Amino acid sequence: MFVGIDCGTQSTKVIIFEVATGQVISRGQASHDLITAEDGTREQHPSWWIDALSKALSIALDNEAVDASVIKGIGVSGQQHGLVVLDKKDQVIRPAKLWCDTSTHRENAQLIEQVGGNHAMYQQIGTQLKTGYTASKLLWLKEQESENFAKIESILLPHDYINFWLTGEKTTEAGDASGTGYFDIRNKRWSQTVLGAIDDSTSLIDKLPRIIDAHQGAGVLCAKSAAVLGLKAGIIVASGGGDNMMGAIGTGNVEQGVITISLGTSGTVAATSETFLGDESGQIASFCNSTNHWLPLICTMNLTNVTGSVQQLTNVTNSNFDTMLAKSTLGAAGLMMLPFFNGERTPDLPQAKGSLQGISGQNLTTENLCRAAVEGVSFGLKYGYQLLQQKGLAAQQIRLIGGGSNSLQWRQIIADMLNVPVVVPKESEAAALGAALQAQWSYQIANNNSTSLADICDNGVKFLLGSKLEPKLSNATLYDELFMEYQAQKFKLY
């Protein structure tokens, strides 16, 4: 058995995966608090993650199907881009700034300028620097809390910190490191230039964790943490990674030809690539993955936040949502939504606002409004998918995760719109499952077992019966025409 941990923004989720059956046999969850402020501050105390991990694992272990003595490894998935800083005594200096913290937007712009502009930044790290990445958080700390900055002995990401608590070792891997903004994604090494632009008075690179390969163990579970968790000391702790990277593994997206799309509050479209695929425009985040390859992905800022708002407005429940979509027809009788409720990241339209177009006295119905919302946000995913296609990453199959994947009608819309078969993994906690499967991979390599990660995923990634949907060619053609209209309206306004 292997433990998969997913430390997200809202909670920590734990699953226990059994190799013999290829099934998740137990699970637990515990929530986190969030520190917020009007300036965009979003922070958490790392101790909250450890407390939640302990509670969630305790729930998962309290199951007669689980034999803790045969648990052989642990994998950790973490929310990306966070900043955890430790002092000389390995104590946390201040709360961690999270991926969704936008209080550092001025420092982000300043750092890009100090490196020499967007082109120079791209040359250094292989992608464009975004406010959410870790680099601007470090510069913010230097300028806003200089006393805390001066105390820094170690700089970690959230999943790095959890691995450190588990093992006593400070390590990271290329996938999660890709989201720091001071990691060279092409060559998989720290960027001394960016780190020097943050602070040239000290060697920040010496304060960063050791970079290990994805298949390597970060260490073994130390006695102190084993006692807290109720597990055996000495079991392997895998390298782990960021939630997008672990989610890819948890959907079996470890070889080219498969694309994972997440229909969550925001949307992601992610593919595996055996080579680095740069995109200086910054629309594709050309991250590394946690399988020693790369995970080019795009992110849209609006998905179930849009459909949820429409449901709330129209009093449509989740159980009735599919019915509303089925009552409407392709194109929502001419109703088109530009769903930029939170601005947009791909393409980069941070100040964009949403709009509803094509309204008539006949088409402004609840069912058409629901469908216009789904089609509008899905067009954003189609735009991202086309960016990956242009890089040679066309999909033979799309694997859908996130809350939106529960909608049969939405799944068919994605299949038709992208003209690719879709399927839904059985395990909804893809990141936690991916962490467990990576732990199995790490354990087997450490024990001279040559089983590939793809074979491990074949055993562990199951799909919901009847969830596979084929695209309807006539619908795909109509959606191509509507997409051209959507693009024209989007760029006319913005």
Q: Is 96 left (phi over 0), alpha (psi -120 to 50) or beta?
A: beta
Residues in the chain, total: 494
φ and ψ of 373, to 5 deg: -65, -45
Structure tokens at 73: 């490894």
Question: 3-state DSSP call for residue 105?
Answer: helix
Rounded to whole angstroms, how far apart are CA atoms 99 and 81? Answer: 5
Q: Which of 157, 162, 170 is nearest to 228 (CA)?
A: 162
The secondary structure of 444-463 as a DSSP string is: HHHTT----HHHHHHHH--B
Read out DSSP for 187-218? TTEE-HHHHHHH-SSS-GGGGSPEEE-TTSEE
Cα four-point dihedral sign 58, 63, 66, 67: positive
Burial (CB count within 10 angstroms: exposed 0-12, middle 13-18, buried 19+), residue 315:
exposed
Best CA proximity match to 277, nearest among 164, 193, 392, 135? 392
What token pair was written down for 435?
């962490």
- Asked if residues 457 and 438 have their Cβ atoms less than 8 Å apart, the reply is no
Annotation marks residue 213 as catalytic:
no
CA pair distance 229, 56, nearest whole angstrom: 10
| Pick from 209, 208, 218, 260: nearest CA to 238 | 218
Got the DSSP string for 297-339?
EEEES-SHHHHHHHHHHHT--HHHHHHHHHHS-TTGGG-EEE-
In 3D space, the residue among 177, 377, 182, 393 whose CA is nearest the CA of residue 268 turns out to be 377
Q: Which of the residues 6, 184, 243, 279 is marked catalytic?
A: 243
> What is the DSSP secondary structure assignment for residue 118, as one 8-state letter?
H
Of 103, 20, 28, 104, residue with least CA distance to 62: 28
Question: How many C-beta atoms surround the C-beta of residue 397 within 10 A?
Answer: 15
**Residues 6 or more apart from 403 whose CB is under 8 A from it?**
263, 264, 304
Residues designated as active site: 243
